[in-house]
Amino acid sequence: MVGYYVTVEPGVKLYVEDINPTGSKTIMFLHGWPLSHEQFEYQFNVLPGMGYRCIGIDWRGFGKSDRPYSGYNLERLADDIRAVVEEMQLKDFVLAGHSTGGAIAIKYIVRYNGGGVSKLVLIDAAAPSGLTKETAAQLLKETLNDRANMMLGVTNIFFFRYITKPFSDWFNQMGMQAAGWSTAAIIVMLRDLDLNADLSRIQVPTLIVHGIHDQVIPFSQAEEMHQKIPHSQLIPFMYSGHASFYDERDKFNQLMRDFVGTAIN
C-alpha cells in the first residue's frame, strides 16, 4: 500500500491510497458523504488479492485531505479527480462511486469526455437528484448545531443488516473526520443536484448497484438511471440499504470481479 498527497490546486492536496500498485487492472473508488476512502475497507481487503490495483481518494474537506473553505461543487470535485488521474497517469481504469461519489463520477466522465474511464460502477448513487429540500434542511440544521448527533442519525439509516456498536463507532468517527463546513456545503450541493442532462452522455459500460431498502437514495432513482444511461445494467441488492458495498459485501466483491474482468495476479 502506498499513501501520498496530490496537489489539485494551489494550497489544496488530496490524500490518495494506492493498494497493490502492480495490479493488472485498476479500480478507483470515490467515497460517499460524509465519509472517506476508508469506507471501502472490505473491498480493499479482498480485491487486491484478486489481482486488482485499488485506488482510494479522500475528497477535499473529507478524510485525510486538506479542508479548504471553498470548492464544494460538483464541477470542482470532478476537477480534483482529474488532477489525481493526470498525476497518476491513469488510463483505461474502472471508476466506482458510492452515493455522492457516484454523482462526482458521473460529472467527471461527462466533463472530461470519458477521462480515461473504461467502465463505470454506480453504488447507491445520488443521481439523477440528491436530497429532498426537506431532508437537506434538516441535515443542515443538525450539522450546524450538533454534527455528531447528525452523523449518528445517518448511521442508523445507512445499513440494512445488523452492525455492531464498535462498527457503528468506527463509521461515525469516519464521518466526523470531515470539516463541519465541508459537510454542510455538500448537503447544499446535494439539495440542488440535477444530473438528468448528464446521464445520456455516459458512453462507457455502466453497472448500477443499489439496495432496494435504501432510505437515503430511493431504489426508484436507480431504475431511472438505468433507463437514461446507455449500456447500463441494474443489479438490485435485495438485502441492502444505502451500503450495498458492506451489507452484501461478498456478493458486491464478486460482482465487481465479474464486471471489471479477471485480473492477472
Is residue 75, in this structure, part of any structural domain at all?
yes
Is residue 159, in this structure, part of any structural domain at all?
yes
Is residue 265, in this structure, part of any structural domain at all?
no
Q: Can you give the pLDDT at residue 200?
A: 96
Residue 59 belongs to domain spanning: 2-260
Name the helix (H) or strand (E) containing 208: strand 206-211
What is d(CA 231, CA 228) in angstroms, rounded to the nearest whole number? Answer: 10
Choice among 99, 232, 240, 244 that is catalytic: 99
pLDDT in tens, the chain (265 residues): 689 999 999 999 999 999 999 998 999 999 999 999 999 999 999 999 999 999 999 999 999 999 999 999 999 999 999 999 999 999 999 999 999 999 999 999 999 999 999 999 999 999 999 999 999 999 999 999 999 999 999 999 999 999 999 999 999 999 999 999 999 999 999 999 999 999 999 999 999 999 999 999 999 999 999 999 999 999 999 999 999 999 999 999 999 999 998 766 5
Choice among 198, 214, 232, 240 that is catalytic: 214
Cell of 165: 456498536
Q: Can you give the pLDDT at residue 2?
A: 80
Name the helix (H) or strand (E) containing 247: helix 244-247
Helices in the chain by DSSP H: which ranges?
41-44, 74-88, 100-111, 133-145, 147-158, 165-176, 180-191, 196-199, 219-228, 244-247, 249-260
Is residue 115, in this structure, part of any structural domain at all?
yes
Catalytic (active site) residue 37: no
Query: CATH number for the domain including 196?
Result: 3.40.50.1820
Closest CA to 64 of 199, 169, 177: 177
Choice among 37, 98, 213, 242 that is catalytic: 242
Cell of 40: 471501502
Domain count, the chain: 1
Is residue 158, in this structure, part of any structural domain at all?
yes
Catalytic (active site) residue 118: no
The conformation of residue 93, written as its DSSP 8-state character, comes to E
What is d(CA 256, CA 260) in angstroms, rounded to the nearest whole number? Answer: 6
What three-state secondary structure class fits 76?
helix
Is residue 196, in this structure, part of any structural domain at all?
yes
Half-sphere exposure of 95 (CA within 13 A, CB side): 30
Taking the model in full, what pTM does it have?
0.97
Catalytic (active site) residue 99: yes
Q: CA separation (Å) from 15 to 1, 9, 106, 170?
A: 13, 13, 21, 19
Name the helix (H) or strand (E) containing 4: strand 2-9
